[in-house]
Amino acid sequence: MNDVAAGTKKLSLLVPMYNESSVIPIFFETVFNVLENIAYDVEFVCVNDGSRDNTLELLKEYSAKDSRIKIVSFSRNFGKEPAMTAALDFATGDALIPIDADLQDPPELIHEMIAKWEEGYDVVYAKRSSRETDGVLKRNTARWFYSLFNRMSDTDIPANVGDYRLMDRKVVDVIRQLPEKDRFMKGLFCWPGFKDTTVEFKRPLRAEGETKFNMWKLWNFAISGIASFSTMPIRVGIYLGLLISAASFIYALFIVSKTILFGVDVPGYASIMVVVLFLGGIQMFFLGLMGEYIGRIYKEVKNRPLYVVAETVNFGA
């Protein structure tokens, strides 16, 4: 844990926001009540990710009343992962906690996470004890994703753990050194390692508003995560190609032997089409897979910034 004296420790809450005007009042009211008697300096690093409602205006109203509320406002919508990266870049705390503004990450858990941090843990995961609030499809796909990801990647991510966690400053300093442009924060948060533990909670429903993630976005998010942390899909193509080649060679020997012994049969159109379509489908799949990785190389080579900041508020306070 950080060696900073107890009276000077700072806790940073990292809050990416996109069109969250309906939850901002209840979010700050709830968090202020939870942290009312906390023995740390506190800052709120709120990142306005190009919201189209009055999220920014509300944030400015609250920041004018409380200098602990700091705002980073993007020039447009860059996405949640760049917004979280910006929050990490601008935060100055000794311990940092990413938290959603919709209160599905219960702020009441912060005290328990801090207690674990004080015990010497560098990372404290907040794990959902159940996914009863999710539908059957989402529960099962989440379970399959965590299982598949951890089998294919050298970096394990704990199941049913989102961005909500406490990280010591030394962990965040390592994460900030990771330069990739296509960012899967759940994996990046786990990559540095360090001493970790877990606290569990039951996730409530959103306080207000609607989720910004539909199944299509979650599907693409899962593909992005696997491609960011594993080359196993390409290796599968190698093994599958070798297997098909071996099977084709054995089948060719069978056909040659049959022709020599019994003569030439009339060729079957259906069987030929099945083989051609099967091999064509596999080729197209792995061409798309290679394109996914090449696209990532393209993004890295361009080296564009992850986000553009239009304005900041209260960082001089």
pLDDT in tens, 43-90: 999 999 989 989 999 999 999 999 999 999 999 998 888 899 999 999
Same domain (yes/no): 139, 70: yes
Residue pair 155/230 in contact by the 8 Å Cβ criterion: no
DSSP state of 98: E
Listed residue (228, 245, 232, 224) closest to 286, CA to CA: 232
Asked whether residue 222 is assigned to any structural domain, the reply reads no
Q: Is the pLDDT of residue 168 over 90?
A: yes
Q: Which of 135-149, 256-270, 299-313 has the lowest mean pLDDT?
A: 256-270
> What's the confidence (pLDDT) of residue 44?
94
Higher pLDDT: 71 or 233? It is 71
CB atoms < 10 A from the CB of 246, how many?
A: 10
Asked whether residue 227 is assigned to any structural domain, the reply reads no
Same domain (yes/no): 297, 309: no
The tally of domains found in the chain comes to 2
- Give dist(CA 29, CA 12) in Å, integer: 17
- Give dist(CA 242, CA 45) in Å, integer: 52
Same domain (yes/no): 190, 289: no
> What's the confidence (pLDDT) of residue 3?
43
Same domain (yes/no): 186, 247: no
Same domain (yes/no): 186, 236: no
Asked whether residue 266 is assigned to any structural domain, the reply reads yes
Largest CA distance in the chain: 93
> What's the confidence (pLDDT) of residue 277?
67
Asked whether residue 224 is assigned to any structural domain, the reply reads no
Q: Is the pLDDT of residue 25 over 70?
A: yes
Same domain (yes/no): 96, 198: yes
Residue type, 187: G
Question: Collapsing DSSP states into helix, strand and coil, what is residue 127?
Answer: strand
Listed residue (131, 139, 150) closest to 201, CA to CA: 131
Same domain (yes/no): 264, 157: no
Query: Cα–Cα distances in Å, from 314 out to 12, 65, 68, 72?
Result: 14, 11, 8, 9
Q: Which of 11-25, 252-266, 291-305 has the lowest mean pLDDT?
A: 252-266
> What's the confidence (pLDDT) of residue 91?
92
Listed residue (309, 308, 312) closest to 43, CA to CA: 312
Same domain (yes/no): 43, 179: yes
> What's the confidence (pLDDT) of residue 131?
61
Same domain (yes/no): 56, 126: yes
- pTM, whole model, 2 decimals? 0.71
Same domain (yes/no): 12, 137: yes
Higher pLDDT: 121 or 8? It is 121
Percent of the chain residues topping a pLDDT of 70: 78
Higher pLDDT: 3 or 241? It is 241
Task: Provide the mean pLDDT of the chain.
Answer: 80
Q: Which domain does 292 fall in, by range?
A: 232-302
CB atoms < 10 A from the CB of 264, how many?
A: 8
